[in-house]
Structure 1
């Protein structure tokens, strides 16, 4: 073990060396960051593999596009999220342009009671076969999504409101949302919209071209 004077002298020499050769510190920092990124990528790959069925094949999750598609795009969203609304036309375009794309909707209401009610109503609308119409109606709505606006949109897209009210009492829809919350937490998702495609998790509003590249990359790899 070094005594105090020797240890102090070593600290001084090390400091002087680093000041004279700053590239050594930069290289060490870059190497550290590379190792961190590699570790995070490996961890993410493991997490996605562990939750693959929940992400891509949940039988209770609404599905759009080609239900038998060779690539699945998953979106976690909130109807009151402005970036989700901006992303909606891009997602619709991606589905329209790609006949092999399956779209999985993950209702993840994080912006208050209005979002929570809307998510439950959307899931309940599946029983009337109008989920996508209802979903697109709410994404296109300019104001706040709350109980009143949700029911207004439901009526506009042709839902039977009395049946919807009855179906809303089913706790299965609450359970589905809770599963989505738990999954988002396991995937370390922190905001909406967030997309999962292949072995990528993409947070935030994404442009059409990068999204298409991610879909193309996923097409080259088998899903878990």
Structure 2
């Protein structure tokens, strides 16, 4: 913990106290003070007991120090995680934006690319879908790359395969938005009913769903999500910024604007 949180001590104990503080900081995952990282003579049992007693008593009297240290650790870990994710995004931009197998909504020649990882059984995905559809249409310059990421069970996988197969009949967009509007529990019967409702040839759809290439595409999406440490849906990449979770449309618009300016 930072030395400013430690009580005044006798000079003879200062070096040992710094070492103990360094060890305590290390146990919390915090950086040790530079002075404490230097070689320090071994403590005799009496000195060790005195130092441990000082720290014990101080922490009992000031437990907020531990709370502050843990909070600081969480902040550092979060910042490190975000930095790693953003670096991974930059290293995988081609796979995110330019895979010709991915369905594209909005303007295919748009000036900004937004990528969405989603699942047809994800309530948050369905919650943002109407606003997203409206925003993409109203903007007119957003290229929306859809990454099928079925992580919520077998029905999600069937739905994702059906969507990718629908792309081969030129009806991905109609099927996608119909699936997002569906409120019933998702199962094979519901999926095929939705497919029939948007005019898909079901025999061809089922044959295409069995194509190993579609299974490979989903596997590639899983691998890409793992590289980016995406663990849930929805997750967006706007420009080169990864944003997990259901975005309010005002934030979505602002991030699109910033990506354009960037």
TM-score range, shorter chain: 0.7 to 0.9
Per the TM alignment, residue 17 of structure 1 is displaced from its structure 2 partner at its CA by 5.4
Partner of 2:241: 200
TM-aligned CA deviation for residue 22 of structure 1: 7.4
The residue that corresponds to 1:175 in the other structure is: 216
Deviation (angstroms), 1:33: 4.7
Alpha-carbon offset, residue 20 of structure 1 = 6.9
Aligned to 1:70: 111
Change (3 A) 1:31 1:149: closer
Residue 140 of structure 1 aligns with which residue?
181
Per the alignment, residue 112 of structure 1 pairs with 153
**Distance change (3 Å), C-alpha of 1:27 and 1:161:** closer
Output the CA distance in 1 between the equivalents of 2:249 and 2:203. Answer: 39
Checking the alignment, whether the CA contact within 8 Å between 2:86 and 2:242 is kept in structure 1 is: no
- The verdict on how the C-alpha distance between 1:26 and 1:144 changes in structure 2, with shifts beyond 3 A counting, is closer
Moved more, 78-87 or 160-169: 160-169
1:130 and 2:178 are equivalent in the alignment: no
The total of aligned residue pairs comes to 221
Name the CA distance, whole Å, in 2 between partners of 1:28 and 1:144. Answer: 45
SS state of the match for residue 143, structure 2?
A: strand
Question: When the two structures are superposed, what TM-score results if normalisation uses the length of structure 1?
Answer: 0.88
Alignment of 1:1-224 (within 5 A): 1-16=42-57, 32-221=73-262
Quick one: structure 1 residues 191 and 35, their matched pair in 2 at CA, closer, same or farther if it must change by over 3 Å? closer
SS of the aligned residue for 1:211 comes to helix
Cα drift, residue 98 of structure 1: 1.4
> 2: CA distance between counterparts of 1:115 and 1:22?
47
The more displaced of 116-125 and 76-85 is 76-85
Q: Report SS of the residue matched to 2:199.
A: coil
44-53 or 118-127: which moved more?
44-53
1:76 positional shift: 1.1
Structure 1 vs Structure 2 CA RMSD = 2.2
Where 2:242 maps in the other structure, the secondary structure is strand
Give the drift of 1:176.
0.5
Q: Could you say what secondary structure the match of 2:173 adopts?
A: helix
Contact 2:155 2:187 in 1 (8 A): yes
Deviations 1:50-103 (A, max 9, x none): 211111221111001111222211111111222211111011022012122111
For residues 71 and 232 of structure 2, the distance between their equivalents in structure 1, rounded to whole angstroms, comes to 28
User: TM-score, normalization: structure 2?
Assistant: 0.76
